[in-house]
Copies of this chain bind each other. A is one copy, B any other.
Amino acid sequence: MTDPTPTPTPSPSAPPLTRAGVVAARALIAPYIHTTPLLTCTTLTALASTPRSPGGASPTLRLYFKCENLQRIGAFKARGAFHAIEQLKLRSPPNNEGNDWRSRGVVTHSSGNHAQALALAARTSGIPAHIVMPSISSPPKIAATRGYGANIVFSGSTSTEREAAVAEVIASTGATLIPPYDHPDIILGQGTMGMEMVEQVAELMAGQESPSSPPRTLDAIITPCGGGGMLSGVALSCEGTSTRVFGAEPSFEGADDGKRGYYSGQRIEAVKSLTIADGLRTPVGAIPWSIIYERRLVAGMYSVSEDEIKAALRLVYERMKLVVEPSAVVGLAVALYNEDFRAMVEREAGEAGWDLGLVLSGGNVSLEALGKLFAEP
């Protein structure tokens, strides 16, 4: 066992929180992640362009879906985790004394996709991963994370208990903390999907247009927003381009903290919601907030109800044939059902409409949970 030492902090060579930082992240993680497919769906595009009611907004929307449910570990979180590990490797090359950060490993607390993502990314580089999970986590989630070779450390369910468990791991192992979203390396890693989307849509459009047409690009992207790592990363990836980025949240029990903060000018630091979009129950982190709100890189925030999330979920299963988790479809639910968003598009885009990118962020849901969701009337 090595002596506990302070965890490394980003060195001056850490990548900047800019579009260039996302470009650099993309090159670093390319060997490890999938370029996920970009899909379209005629039926959903037609639905999005049909007014919901006689008086409803009537925008023209052409939808493009970025299938991060087909990413490694089944969610976009693989991007940030691999980037965090690659950055650590860049900043602290291994020494020969056997007591560098690599042998001490990495640690995080998560019972969800970040846990599996960090476990996989660490194992890929032969680095130990300690994952703090509440002892009440479901056995399949524990098994999945352990399946990626992580050392599971159980804790109580409150954030105080989890943080105490993390501190203990750090004290006894010297592991480096990799938080799930409030970290520059994580944000830049998640941002890589935005750049991929824009390029994939441009390629698709180039194949459909006559050679003389002016080149088109995505008009906007909506991503789900929980802690804000993905939303802020995608916003950075579109910085200085003509693609606008929006965030989508569940409104249930105040899970729309990002939206409420965005329109009141004050970040909301605590949320307690049991929305079915269980990946989006967390409040927006401080660094994501600085990008989303303070730097104004996100153009707006919208929220949807639980029933709207369920309806969008059913459409993705039945029409797109994709297994997605409830959190993955909040962007689609905004495009289909949020009258404020739809009226805004109609106003801004006119007849030309918008080419709109939507991130299907993950697909980690148990078949039993799904059965229950759709068994309800």
Seen from chain A, the residues whose Cβ lies within 8 Å of a Cβ on chain B are 37, 39, 42, 69-70, 72, 74, 314, 317-324, 363, 366-368, 370-372, 374-375
Contact = CB atoms under 8 A, between A and B. Distances in A.
B363 A368 contact: no
9 contacts: A37-B37, A70-B320, A70-B321, A317-B323, A322-B323, A323-B323, A367-B374, A370-B374, A371-B372
Identical copies in the complex: 2
A46 B177 CA distance: 31
Contact of A74 (B321, B323, B367): B321
Contacts of A363: 321
Contacts of A372: 371
Contacts of A72: 42
Contacts of A322: 321-323
Contacts of A318: 323, 366-367
Contacts of A320: 70, 323
A141 to B, nearest CB: 12
Contacts of A314: 367
A87 B323 CA distance: 36
A333 to B, nearest CB: 17
A374 B369 CA distance: 10
A139 to B, nearest CB: 14
Nearest to A75: B321
Contact of A371 (B42, B323, B324, B374): B374
A344 B314 CA distance: 41
A39 B72 CA distance: 12
A269 B37 CA distance: 41
A134 to B, nearest CB: 22
Contacts of A319: 74
Contact of A321 (B39, B324, B368): B324
Contacts of A39: 37, 70
Given A69-B321, A321-B323, 18 more contacts: A37-B39, A39-B70, A42-B72, A70-B320, A70-B321, A314-B367, A317-B323, A317-B367, A318-B323, A318-B367, A321-B322, A321-B324, A321-B363, A322-B322, A322-B323, A368-B374, A371-B372, A371-B375
Contacts of A367: 314, 317-318, 370, 374
A375 B368 contact: yes
Residue of A69, A314, A370, A371 most packed against chain B (CB within 10 A): A371
A277 to B, nearest CB: 17
Contacts of A69: 321
A37 B200 CA distance: 14
Q: What are the 3 closest A-B residue pairs judged by CB atoms, nearest first? A: A321-B363, A371-B371, A321-B323
A42 B74 CA distance: 12
A375 B70 CA distance: 24
A324 to B, nearest CB: 7
Nearest to A323: B321
A317 B367 CA distance: 8
A246 to B, nearest CB: 24
Contacts of A375: 368, 371
A370 to B, nearest CB: 7
A370 B70 CA distance: 20
